[in-house]
Amino acid sequence: MPDHFVTRPLPSTLSAETLSLDAGLIVDPSTGAIAPNMSMSVNNVLMPGDGAFSADGIEDLAQLPYLYARWTNPTVRQLEQRLAALEGADDALASATGMASIAGMLFTLLKAGDHLVVSDVCYAGAVELTQRVLPDFGIEVTPVNMVRLDEVEAAVRPNTRLIHCESPVNPILRVVDLQALATLAHRHGALISVDSTFATPVATRPLAHGIDLVLHSLTKFINGHGDVLGGAVIGRRELIARIRARAGVYLGATLSAQSAWLIMRGIDTLYPRMRLVSETAMDVARFLEAHGEVERVIYPGLETHPQHTLAKRQMDVFGGMIGFQTRNPKLVAQRLSERLRVIHYAFSLGHQRSLVVLLDTEEMMASTFRLTGNQLADYRAHAGDGLFRLSIGLEAKSDILADLDQALTP
C-alpha cells in the first residue's frame, strides 16, 4: 500500500466486532484525524516508476500507488480493508451497487463455453442477469434449489466454473448448507460464491465454511441507513485482484468516496444493530405465528423453519428478515399500506426503519423466477400465494408489534 497515510497495526487476536471499527482505519498524519478521511481526488501525484503496468494488465491494482480513482481510492480502500477483516478474507472489491459486484464477479470468472450453477431463487436482479443475460454471451446456466444437494451434484458438468448461491435466500429465507456446497464445488474443481446480504458477517462468515467469494449489497444491513448504494465481493487476494482488474477497471461501476465513507459510518454500528434487529425479529416472528390473521411465518430462528437445525449451526444471529403468509394477501397488502404508521410499506430491506412488502407468487413467477415443476412446488412451500417480506428496523419492539397488530386485524 502507498505510504501516504498511517494504518495502525492491529493485534491478530481481535474479534470481528472490534475489527468492524478499526480494520483498515487510516489516521491522517497531517491532522491526526481518527474518523476516516474522505479523499475526493480523481488522481494522485506519482513518483517516477509508479504505475508500471504489466502487459496483460492483471496485476493487483490495489497494491499500486493511488494513480486513478476508478480502480483504487484511499477512502474506498479503507472500506475494502474493513470488509475483508469482517469476513476474515485477504481482500475485497467495493462497487457502486450490490448488482455491480454480482455482475463484476460473473463477467470476470465466466466466459463463453463455461457453465454456471445458480440458485433457482435468489435476488431478482441476479436471477435475471444469470438466466437471461449470461446465455447471450455463450455461458450455460442451470438453476437449482441448493437445498437439494443431489440436484446440485447432478447439475455440475465438466465445464462448470462457478456455483452461486444465497443464504438466507431472498425473498423466501431458505437456508443452504455452505460447507456442503463448498465441498461439492471443490470436488468438481469449481469455485463457489454466496450472496450473504441477508446474513451479514455478524450472522455468518461464509469463508470459514469453505466458500471462495462472499458478496454483499452494502445498500442493506451493512450500511443500514437506507441512504446509499454499494456492493462488495470479498475473498482471496488473487481472485479479488482478477475481479478488480476486469470488473473494477472495465465495467467502471466504482464506488464513490462519499458512499464509502457513509458505509464505513454504518459499519461502525453493524454489530449492535444486527444483534438488536435479530432479537426484535425473533419476538416479531413469534408474535406473527400466534396472530389469527397470519397463516405461516418463515424465520430461520423459529423451530418451524424447514432448515432451522442448519440455521442454528450456520448463523450466530438469525437476522432481521421475516417472511409471512396470510389469507387474501392482496387485500392484506392494501390494508397494511393504508394503516401502518411505524413500519413503511416499501421495497428494499436492512434499513434502520422497518419495511414490509408483498411479493405475490404469480407476479414473481411472471416477472422473474419462471419456476415450474418441483422448483415451483418448493417455492410455494415457502411463499404460498404470496410472501410478505418484513425487514425489521431499530424501532422499539413494542411499537412494531402494536403497528402490525392494528394493521393486520380486520
Distance (Å, rounded) from C-alpha 33 to C-alpha 114?
A: 48
Pairing of strands 386-391, 355-360: antiparallel
Min. distance of Cβ 104 from ligand PLP in angstroms? 11
Of 25 and 231, nearer to ligand PLP (C-beta) is: 231
Distance CA 306, CA 290 (A): 18
Place of cell 422448483: 375
Quick check: helix, strand or coil at residue 356? strand
| CB closer to ligand PLP, 25 vs 213 | 213
By beta-carbon proximity to ligand PLP, the closer residue of 311 and 407 is: 311
> With respect to ligand PLP, which residue has the nearer C-beta, 243 or 294?
243
| Nearest CB to ligand PLP, comparing residues 104 and 384 | 104
Q: d(Cα 386, Cα 323) in Å, to the nearest integer?
A: 10
Least separation in angstroms between residue 298's CB and ligand PLP is 16
Report the half-sphere exposure of 4 (CA within 13 A, side-chain side).
17
- Nearest alpha-carbon partner for 77 in 225, 257, 237: 257
In the complex, residue closest to ligand PLP by CB: 98
To ligand PLP, the closest distance from the beta carbon of 235 in angstroms equals 16
To ligand PLP, the closest distance from the beta carbon of 77 in angstroms equals 20
Q: In terms of CB distance, is 114 or 195 closer to ligand PLP?
A: 195
CB neighbour class for 54 (10 Å; exposed up to 12, middle 13-18, buried from 19):
exposed
Min separation Cβ 382 and ligand PLP, Å: 15
Measured N-to-C along each axis, helices 74-87 and 257-267 cross at an angle, to the nearest 10 degrees, of 30
Closest distance to ligand PLP from the beta carbon of 41 (Å): 25
Binding site for ligand PLP (CB under 6 A): 97-99, 123, 125, 166, 170, 195, 197, 217, 219, 229, 231
- Rounded to the nearest angstrom, the gap between the alpha carbon of residue 402 and the centroid of all alpha carbons in its chain is 30
CB 78 within 8 A of CB 41: no
Q: Check: CB of residue 335 under 8 Å from CB of residue 293.
A: no
* Least distance to ligand PLP, CB of residue 393, Å: 16
Q: What is the CB neighbour count within 10 angstroms for residue 56?
A: 7
Task: Output 25 or 222, the one with its CB closest to ligand PLP.
Answer: 222
